[in-house]
Copies of this chain bind each other. A is one copy, B any other.
Amino acid sequence: MSVEPPQHLNPEEFRRAGHATIDWIIDYLTGIEDRPVSPGVQPGQVRASLPDTVPETGEPIADLLADVDRLIAPAVTHWQHPGFYGYFPGNSSPPAVLGELLSAGLGIQGMLWSTSPACTELETHVLDLLVGLCGLPDRFRSDGPGGGVIQDTASSASLCAVVAARDRAGGSAVLADLRVYTSNQSHSSIEKDVRVAGFGADQLRSIETDDDYAMDPVVLRTAVEADVAAGLIPCLIVATVGTTSSGAFDPLPEVAAVAAAVGAWLHVDAAWAGSAAVCPEHREILTGLEHADSYVFNPHKWLLTNFDCSAFFVADRKFLLDSLSVVPEYLRNTASDSGAVIDYRDWQIPLGRRFRSLKLWFVLRSYGVEGLRAHIRHHVEAAACLARRISSNQRLKLAAPASLALVCFSHVDGDNAGKELLAKLNATGEVLLTHTQLSGRYVLRVAIGGSRTTSDHVDRLADLLDELA
């Protein structure tokens, strides 16, 4: 044949480039504290620096790595910097990175069991291990009607819960009558998911919270009962364990009782806080979870596994499959037809899927139970210390009780003083904090939990607060 295939890197070139990439990453992480957490670039600045065409002939990987070093790394926000306290942590760790690398190297597709049996079976296995590791209810194990699956984000997992709940209650035929309930502190992804699933804005009831920002179950019950009395159908209640703004815990037993009374699906979003359940002393936040129809938490937030890795569990996978299974001829195969295997494409929105369980498996085995617990515990302890330091600072005021490793506070001089303080803190380059609003007040958040964040770093933050408040 006359057409030549492209020039791939040969094995030795790949090896050299691969080792160089590993070395670059280690240099980046080792030196990360010398960088400001935020890059301080202007909109358009990065792009203006980039080569503006695809070259006619290929360039060496060494040149690409040099450009990453010169153009990209200085313009990212350093989520792995130990002074990163924004949003929620986005953990990473050496075993997770290597698991991700292996997944890319294997280059397989796990949409069906038959398209890579090990991809499906390791995923089932690792999620069952998580059930044990976190003391989750047995209903989420795969050896009954339930089971777990890895999704990219809690947003996507919750969308699956919304769709399954919607369809269990009658689906499109009764869509206009369906109602969904969540607290006014729940994550914005719930509102987004509900909209994506075809609900109107008025079909999502925003339930008021108590003084600690947890859903008020009496308000919930009243809202649900009023809707039932009006002939509407409560199909889903979404409870949050560890809200984004302040780490509040909705009272699962009371919420579950309301859901049970009307046959609504109960979905529990513990995207951030769920990782804490590796420690037995924190499992009380999940009391009542045994009544939930679905549950999600993100090892990619606070369990040392790099994004994306969201663990989603259902009590009965039948409802997921009813909503999400479409089987064209070109995906039929003997194993699926036998019913003896899991095809995870039916447990998620996309068809294709990466081999994400590898990195989670690497993390669980590389750290072991003790290492995972140490990771959580030293952050929780550091948060308690920080909360004490803030309490003793007369310019600052805790805006909510410290929740696990999240500490929220405001400035006694008001919102503008808080905004100024945030700007000053972030301008040091040593730390990055973000803000929220609680009871109408501007609040600074410190989300401790970075893989490289130690109590010394948190002490330094407390010193900065003393200095700058």
Contacts and interface: CB of A to CB of B under 8 A. Distances in A.
Interface stretch (A86-94, A205-213, A252-260): A86-94
Contacts of A75: 116-118, 121
A405 B379 CA distance: 54
Interface stretch (A222-230, A231-239, A262-270, A367-375): A367-375
A26 interface: yes
Contact of A46 (B3, B11, B63, B121): B121
A191 interface: yes
Nearest to A456: B1
A15 to B, nearest CB: 5
A153 interface: yes
Contact of A101 (B6, B104, B203): B104
Given A196-B197, A330-B245, A381-B1, A90 B108 contact: yes
A175 B22 CA distance: 51
Contacts of A91: 107
Contacts of A100: 100-101, 104
Contact of A200 (B28, B29, B173, B340): B173
Interface in A303-333: 304, 306-308, 323-324, 326-331, 333
Given A172-B200, A435-B329, A98 B47 contact: no
A122 interface: yes
A59 B244 CA distance: 34
B155 A109 contact: no
Interface string A187-204: 111011101111110010
A340 B170 CA distance: 43
A76 interface: yes
Interface stretch (A284-292, A357-365, A390-398, A460-468): A357-365
Most buried by B among A43, A118, A329: A118
Contacts of A5: 374-375, 378, 454-455
Contacts of A350: 152-153, 155-156, 189, 308
Nearest to A120: B46
A366 B152 contact: no
A105 B198 contact: no
B364 A102 contact: no
A451 B8 contact: yes
A95 to B, nearest CB: 6
A11 B26 CA distance: 6
Contacts of A193: 349
A69 to B, nearest CB: 10
Contact of A54 (B25, B92, B365): B365
A365 B55 contact: yes
Interface in A6-59: 6-9, 11, 13-15, 17-19, 21-26, 28-30, 39, 41, 43-47, 50-51, 53-59
A318 B53 CA distance: 27
B21 A19 contact: no
Contact of A197 (B198, B375, B382, B437): B198
Contacts of A328: 187-188, 244
A469 interface: no
Given A30-B11, A188-B331, A369-B56, A96 B104 contact: yes
Contacts of A24: 102, 105
A368 B18 contact: no
A352 B96 contact: no
Contacts of A196: 159, 163, 196-197, 323-324, 349
A286 to B, nearest CB: 18
A166 interface: yes
Given A107-B80, A108-B90, A200-B172, A22 B25 contact: no
28 contacts: A3-B378, A6-B370, A6-B374, A7-B367, A11-B26, A14-B22, A21-B102, A25-B106, A46-B118, A57-B368, A57-B369, A57-B371, A58-B366, A58-B368, A64-B362, A64-B365, A75-B117, A97-B101, A97-B104, A156-B350, A172-B199, A188-B326, A188-B327, A191-B326, A196-B324, A245-B330, A329-B435, A330-B437
